Amino acid sequence: MLVLGIETSCDETGVALYDTGTGLLADALHSQVELHALYGGVVPELASRDHVRRLLPLLREVLERSGRSLADVDLVAYTQGPGLGGALLVGASVAAGIALALGKPVAGIHHLEGHLLSPLLAQPAPEFPFVALLVSGGHTQLMRVDGVGRYRLLGETLDDAAGEAFDKTAQLLGLGYPGGPALARLAQGGEARRYDLPRPMAASGDLDFSFSGLKTAVLTRVKAMGEPDAPARRDLAASFQAAIVDVLAAKCMTALRRESLRTLVVAGGVGANEALRARIVADAAAAGASVFFPPMRLCTDNGAMIAFAAALKHPHAGTDAVRDFAILPRWDLEAAAAQSTPRR
Ligand code: KG4
Ligand code: ZN
């Protein structure tokens, strides 16, 4: 079965073709980073317009690279939510249009489910059940995953998402958008013990997170310094990164213990953070657990995870896929799993 995946939930246009027999055939991505950099964050209207411009050229690119034609596609999948309404509508409309023209089914996919299942695209792939840490710009959640569509929320952030904390702190340190990768680069070689920053909720006993206080702690330091010099900025970045990594890693280990599981999956944009990866790998090894990450380029938003999730959720595309289309800018993953009985 050949699945076309389309991702347009935020500031990346992603298109991919996944073959259930041979795997990922091609994926293409356009990042809008330069478009939004001028404004210090994503401008929703500009994002939608750029998705309109990029989607069809990217589709042509994946078809060419895979040597397949649109007529070969058995199922068209798109990100249904959560995300920016206008941006989601672009992907949903193009997906529905293609599916209608081809007489093929169309399936709406939950963006986080795409991230959650993307480590299964790596070799070796994890086996169910596992604990998943979802760390993106909009979400920070720990889930227990017992199978495709079987997710239980163990804990989540009460305020900022981990990626949001990276982005906002980066802004405080004078770094541009997107802040996460820039802050991680600045932190390289920095002295992480120079500034004693809080580890919010590290000892709360539950699996929830809170990151807004950490961002405020950095703000207080920056204000106290007036104009921090380059070494101070570098060390602040390293201290912030160490604090966030400490909390994320500690909660992952608690989740594994609580659920008596030995497999951990890390997904979402912040999963690209090298310091987080190294720390989680070390902690998991010490606890006798294994960790799985998506391939590095599939950590952030992409079309491949959408095509792949659709292939897993709708193995019989012709009979059980969704045939209507709608977007859900605010959409809970557990609720999505509970409703995943096919609609027609
Ligand atoms: O999953 P994603 O691409 O989009 C959302 O669904 O939100 O995640 C984007 C987030 C941004 O906040 C970005 O700053 C963060 O992931 N991010 C990173 C790194 N790469 C991306 N944060 C820390 N270190 C990185 N290397
Ligand atoms: Zn994402």
The rounded Å distance from CA 135 to ligand 1 centre is: 8
pLDDT range class, residue 21, cuts 50, 70, 90: very high
Mean pLDDT of 292-303: 94
Q: Which of 30, 164, 166, 330 to mutate to test the pocket of ligand 1 (most atoms within 8 A of CB)?
A: 166
Mean pLDDT of 60-86: 97
Ligand nearest to the CA of 182: 1
Summary mean pLDDT of the chain: 94
Q: pLDDT digit string (tens) for 274-289? A: 999 999 999 999 999 9
Q: Which bound ligand lies closest to the C-alpha atom of 178?
A: 1
Atom of ligand 1 nearest to the CA of 161: 12
Chain centroid, CA 155 distance in Å: 17
10 C-alpha to ligand 2 centroid (Å)? 8
- Determine which of 149-163, 225-239, 308-322 has the lowest per-residue pLDDT on average: 308-322
Phi, psi of 121 (to 5 degrees): -80, -15
Which of 116, 117, 136 has most ligand 1 atoms within 8 Å of CB, for mutation? 136
Confidence band for 253, pLDDT divided at 50, 70 and 90: very high
Using one digit for the tens of pLDDT, what is the confidence trace for 40-58?
889 999 999 999 999 999 9
Q: Is the pTM of this model over 0.85?
A: yes
Nearest residue to 150 (alpha-carbon basis) of 5, 328, 334: 334
- Closest residue (by CA) to atom 7 of ligand 1? 137
CA of 270 to the centre of ligand 1 (A): 4
Average pLDDT over residues 3-27: 97
3-state secondary structure of 327: coil
Nearest protein Cα to ligand 1, atom 10: 137
Residue having the nearest C-alpha atom to atom 14 of ligand 1:
180
- Taking the C-alpha atoms of residue 28 and residue 22, their distance in angstroms, rounded to an integer, is 18
CB 135 within 8 A of CB 162: yes
As a whole number, mean pLDDT of residues 225-251 equals: 96
CA 278/CA 276 separation, integer angstroms: 6
Instruction: Say whether pLDDT at 324 is over 80.
Output: no
List pLDDT tens digits, range 334-344: 888 876 644 33
> Which tokens in the block code for residue 61?
């690119």
C-alpha 28 to ligand 2 mean position (Å):
16
How far is the C-alpha of 136 from the C-alpha of 85, rounded, in Å? 18
Distance 189 CA to ligand 1 centre (A): 21
- The pLDDT of residue 90 is 98
Residue 320: how many CA atoms within 13 Å on its side-chain side? Answer: 10
pLDDT band at 322 (very low <50, low <70, confident <90, very high): low
- Region 25-46 average pLDDT: 94
What is the Cα–Cα distance from 4 to 303, expressed in whole angstroms?
Answer: 8
Specify the pLDDT at position 317: 74
Percent above pLDDT 90 for the chain: 87
**Ligand 1, residues at Cβ distance < 6 Å:** 10, 136-138, 163, 166-167, 178-181, 184, 268-270, 272-273, 300-301
- What's the gap in Å between 305 CA and the centre of ligand 1? 15
* Per-residue pLDDT at 320 exceeds 60: no
- The reported pLDDT for the residue numbered 323 is 58
How many A from CA of 168 to the centre of ligand 1? Answer: 12
Phi, psi angle pair for 334, to nearest 5°:
-60, -40
In one-letter notation, the amino acid at residue 312 is L
